Amino acid sequence: MPIVTMSRIEKDEVKGLAQAIESGVGFAGYHGGAGDSFRECVEYQFIVGGQWVAHPGNIIDYTVNVTRPDDPLMADITDFPYRSEQYYMHVDPSNEVLAMTTFTGEHAYWIDGVTMPVVWKRRYGKGRVFYSSLGHAAKEFDVPQMYEIFRRGALWAAR
């Protein structure tokens, strides 16, 4: 689980990371600690399945919409209100999206109505990758749904 943001990774470092995950090592990350790490490294973005672009309005209220209630990671979790940075990201279309959010356009009118993945899982070789854009501040882990989604996702990636 990376806790790095807006940093650099050397070619041999990302090669080692990619090889480990391809061989079956799990990878779980959240918010900028995974989704805004190593901006210049395409291979890392390919592993995670997305890259942070912006969070219009900074800390705002929005809704997290569960899109895969049938997935074990989302079992018994329904849509919930959330207060944090609402991430606008570039995302890989091969992600298995588990939850999304919709932008209102209040802070960036040109994205009014855009739906954006918030939680996803994916495969990278034999490895499992889990990502959640939720979690800007530690207190957000007090939100039961956010905590449980990340707990389940990290366990899923580790298997």
Q: Are 153 and 96 in contact (CB under 8 A)?
A: no
Q: How confident is the model at residue 4 (pLDDT cuts 50, 70, 90)?
A: low
Asked if residue 75 is part of any domain, the answer here is: yes
Mean pLDDT value of segment 21-40: 93
Report the distance separating Cα 81 and Cα 143, nearest Å.
10
Asked if residue 2 is part of any domain, the answer here is: no
CATH code of 17's domain:
3.40.50.880
Asked if residue 146 is part of any domain, the answer here is: yes
Q: Which of 82, 75, 132 is nearest to 102 (CA)?
A: 82
Residue 6 has pLDDT above 90, yes or no: no
Report the distance separating Cα 123 and Cα 117, nearest Å.
16
pLDDT of residue 5: 64
Asked if residue 138 is part of any domain, the answer here is: yes
Report the distance separating Cα 152 and Cα 159, nearest Å.
11
Q: Total structural domains in the chain?
A: 1
Asked if residue 1 is part of any domain, the answer here is: no
Maximum Cα–Cα distance for the chain, whole Å?
44
pLDDT digits (tens, 9 = 90+) for 65-104: 999 999 999 999 999 999 999 999 999 999 999 999 999 9
Report the distance separating Cα 127 and Cα 22, nearest Å.
5
CA atoms within 13 A on the CB side of 136: 12
Global pTM reads 0.94
Asked if residue 4 is part of any domain, the answer here is: no
Tell me the residue range of the domain where 40 lies. 11-158
Q: How confident is the model at residue 47 (pLDDT cuts 50, 70, 90)?
A: very high
